[in-house]
Amino acid sequence: MGAQVIEIPFIEIRRPRSFAPLDFALQHLSDYDWLILTSVNGVETMWERIVKLRIKAGKLSHLKIAAIGPATKSAIEAHGLEVQVVPKEYVAESVVKSLRRKVKGKRVLLARAKVARDVIPRELRKLGARVDVVEAYETVLPKSSRTRLRALLKSSQHRPHVITFTSSSTARNFAELLSPRWRGHSCPREVVPLLQAVQFASIGPVTSATLRELGLLPHIEAEQYTIPGLITAIKASAKHNGM
């Protein structure tokens, strides 16, 4: 669309320290009624382990599957699996709402990142489900991005008009990359000049809430909590502000 895009990762995806819990769950899929996947990374890691363990696709045929959003749904379907539930809003709370009358007395497998919000397992257990949470991958701080990010923001000529955030992890890591002293709602004094005239674009309300917790104002928020939705919101904002 004509924008100059500078890519600096705020998260790095890594394998978990051990695949043992995930492998055990996959080898006992017959024990589960529901499988919940909350990211494309989770889908791809799970499928890599299924192939590694030589688990036949038929072992998953009895499962009902819930995906947090359309990208995750597409990744699941690419492996020949059917998705029964995709919530109207692509956040954990909406996943719970979509499953409210479907999980009582059922056993649920949730494969996700090592560090994630506990909304889904906590609320589904309240609804009478037995939920097992297994780590499929972890997100870590990409320390190699620190120098590039600081150099970019120190340059008034190259400083971006908009910085995008696609998860709460990207928001927290952005703060950590800029200043290890960043705590709570206040932006460190030395960081403030680096953020002059920069707008923050958030993929949805959960990420926006994390930005606010860090003392950063989400100027742009996607109405549909997806990458295409984020792009649409940025385009609308740029048009409105005459960028």
pLDDT on residue 166: 93
Residue-wise DSSP of 24-84: HHHHTGGG-SEEEE--HHHHHHHHHHHHHTT--GGGGTT-EEEESSHHHHHHHHTTT----
- Crossing angle of helices 92-99/119-126, nearest 10°? 20
The H or E element that residue 5 is part of is none
Which domains, ranges and CATH numbers included, belong to the chain? Answer: 13-140 (3.40.50.10090), 142-240 (3.40.50.10090)
pLDDT on residue 90: 74
Sort strands 199-202 and 218-221 into parallel, antiparallel or unpaired: parallel
Q: Write out the chain's pLDDT in tens, 243 residues.
A: 889 999 999 999 889 999 999 999 999 999 999 999 999 999 999 999 999 999 998 899 999 999 988 899 999 999 999 999 998 887 788 889 999 989 999 999 999 888 777 889 999 999 999 999 999 998 889 989 999 999 999 988 889 999 999 998 899 999 999 998 887 677 888 898 999 999 999 999 989 999 999 999 999 999 988 899 999 999 999 887 766
Q: Which two tokens stand for residue 77?
A: 């379907």
d(CA 86, CA 67): 5
107 CB contacts (<8 Å, ≥6 apart)?
Answer: 31, 32, 33, 34, 129, 130, 131, 132
**Three-state secondary structure of 194-210:** HHCCCEEEECCHHHHHH
Q: What is the pTM of this model?
A: 0.78
